[in-house]
Structure 1
Amino acid sequence: MSSKPKNTPALDPRVNPYRSDLASAHLYGKVTAERYVDGVPCQVRAGYVTLKEEPSFTARQSSQLLFGEVFTVFEEKDGWVWGQNATDGYVGYLQLEALDDELAEPTHKLTALRSFFHPEPDLKTPPLDMISLGAPLCVVEIDGGFAGVAGGGWVPLVHVAEIGAVKADPVDTALRLLGTPYLWGGRTSVGIDCSGLIQLALDAAGLACPRDSDQQQAALGTLVSADGAGHAYQRGDLVFFPGHVGIMADETHLVHANAHHMATVREPLADVLARAAAGKGVSAVKRLGA
């Protein structure tokens, strides 16, 4: 079946699964495609996996998925799947081998920056994989100091907490990630980009957060300044620039993952502004909970 909606504004393809040849069934009547399908929810079983803009190993990484996240598959072809991340709605391509079609309801989240899956509840066994901060886990068994996870693998118990039990200060989480290398599309403690840092920090606080900085600027908090001029910054203020975002550690210092340092750093906001090219200064300051 096909649909030809008229006078309908274009939907953001980053968070709406549609192409000219294929679209999610829930978008029928909203976008034009040759066919519409119901997706198949699957779960990430790799420590973390690259989400690509195209089904190619050489294609640019647009984001990453964490172990335990749900990815709805709309197409499978040549070892690649095209679909949508349930966590933030991001659409892209990833390798089929990273997914499992058996879903396990998460009970816990990883609270350590990173940890290892062991084949047995024994820290001396060679790890199977590495998982990163915020990964949702279905814990089915406790043995000594280890949590057994659905699908196999044991994680140190001190590295996990029940979902909703711990809601960290977003700034504290951002500060824990200082020194993390900058990685375009990164969402892990191994490599992260500016909006990925904010997303991880808010996730640890129990707050839903879009993937990209422009989406975050539109969706998060309350606008307290349009350009930052004369603004009295507070800890936790989100500071947006064209294509960039950071979070204030205090009245004068910004925590942000950036390509200048190629790392997550805490530095004076004044230094960030001094480096900014014309027209690249503060575009908005948003306050959470304001």
Structure 2
Amino acid sequence: MTDAPLDPRLHAYRADLADARLRGRVEAQRFTEGSPATLCVGCADLKPMPSAQAGNDSQLLFGERLRVFDRTDGWAWVQNESDGYVGWVRESTLGPLRAAPDHRVAALRTPLLPEPDVKAPPLDLLSFASVLRVTRYSGSYAEIEGGGWIFAAHLAPSDKADSDYIATARRFLGLPYLWGGRSSLGLDCSALVQLALGAAGLVLPRDSDQQETCEASGRQLPPDAQRQRGDLLYWPGHVALALDAERVLHATGGPMLVVEEPFAAIDARVQVERGRGLRCIRRP
């Protein structure tokens, strides 16, 4: 066994059950390979326990591939293969594993329609960064594997990266802050960073403390370094994107929105709330 415990947010293990890939690293009564699945609804809450009353740790997006380790009372214990996050999701939101996605949703959100008709009643709403496979086109619409049609201009090929993640993040301005949120209907500070950089082809972990210590977040700089556009700014429990040396963009629980504000204002506020100011700068 390793001396330091594995992060349970990123490794599926409990006293009674664990991911078979962790055999020899953790103790558990039983190990399982798990089974593959895909999220088949627009968005689903990921919780620390199988209860509707439990708070949200994160969210899963349409098309994300999952590994299911346990099912009980209508809930499934899963790991998101996109960012490794582990938690409980309603079993009814899961579908069979599908072919590898070749497109992602590039609009903030888009309706999934039963037919290629703008007047058709939507089946669901798919959020930015949802992934899917296009099977054919009809006029301005794309049919996706599993059924349904999406306005094709709202999609981008999976291998096409957005060149400017700050411009991508700015598209979320005014959207509500949501603890554990990861969709364009509401998201938290680290999800905003994860989604914006993900569209640029940079894969970051889910939570701010994970991002802060991750090499994928870029070169680490001291907190007193000159800030520049695109820097990731980390405080205890919070992250923001630098717009320039003086202003930041972030999802914050203050106004409960994605906003732009002066760096000095947020740094002073966090010092009062958490006892210290900016802790780290990362430059992707």
TM-score interval w.r.t. the shorter chain?
over 0.9
* Cα RMSD for the two superposed structures: 1.0
Q: Residue type of the partner of 1:241? A: W
TM-score by length of 2: 0.96
Conserved? CA contact 2:142–2:149, under 8 Å: yes
Alignment of 1:161-172 (within 5 A): 161-172=156-167
Conserved? CA contact 1:8–1:30, under 8 Å: no
Partner residue of 1:41? 36
Partner residue of 2:242? 248
Conserved? CA contact 1:40–1:74, under 8 Å: yes
Conserved? CA contact 2:42–2:61, under 8 Å: yes
Conserved? CA contact 1:178–1:265, under 8 Å: yes
Partner residue of 2:136? 141
Q: Does 1:236 align with 2:236?
A: no
Q: Identity of paired residues, percent? A: 45
Partner residue of 2:221? 224
Alignment of 1:1-290 (within 5 A): 5=1, 8-219=3-214, 220-225=217-222, 227=223, 229=224, 231-278=225-272, 279-288=275-284
The count of aligned residue pairs is 280
- 1:36-76 CA-partner distances (Å, limit 9, x unpaired): 00011100000011001110000010000000001100001
How far residue 82 of structure 1 moved from its aligned partner, in angstroms, is: 0.3
TM-score by length of 1: 0.94
Q: Name the CA distance, whole Å, in 2 between partners of 1:107 and 1:119.
A: 20
- 1:11-31 CA-partner distances (Å, limit 9, x unpaired): 000000000000000000000
Conserved? CA contact 1:235–1:250, under 8 Å: yes
Conserved? CA contact 2:136–2:143, under 8 Å: yes
- 1:152-191 CA-partner distances (Å, limit 9, x unpaired): 1100011001111232411011111001100000111100
Conserved? CA contact 1:179–1:264, under 8 Å: yes
Question: SS at 1:123's partner residue?
Answer: coil
Q: Residue type of the partner of 1:124? A: K
How far residue 118 of structure 1 moved from its aligned partner, in angstroms, is: 0.3
Q: Name the CA distance, whole Å, in 2 between partners of 1:55 and 1:281.
A: 36
How far residue 104 of structure 1 moved from its aligned partner, in angstroms, is: 2.4
Query: What are structure 1's unaligned runs of at least 5 residues?
Result: none
Conserved? CA contact 2:231–2:281, under 8 Å: yes
Question: SS at 1:59's partner residue?
Answer: coil
Question: SS at 1:61's partner residue?
Answer: coil
Q: Residue type of the partner of 2:256? A: M
Conserved? CA contact 2:112–2:123, under 8 Å: yes
Conserved? CA contact 2:235–2:270, under 8 Å: no
Question: SS at 2:10's partner residue?
Answer: coil
Q: Name the CA distance, whole Å, in 2 between partners of 1:168 and 1:134.
A: 15
How far residue 273 of structure 1 moved from its aligned partner, in angstroms, is: 1.5
Q: Name the CA distance, whole Å, in 1 between partners of 2:212 and 2:278.
A: 11
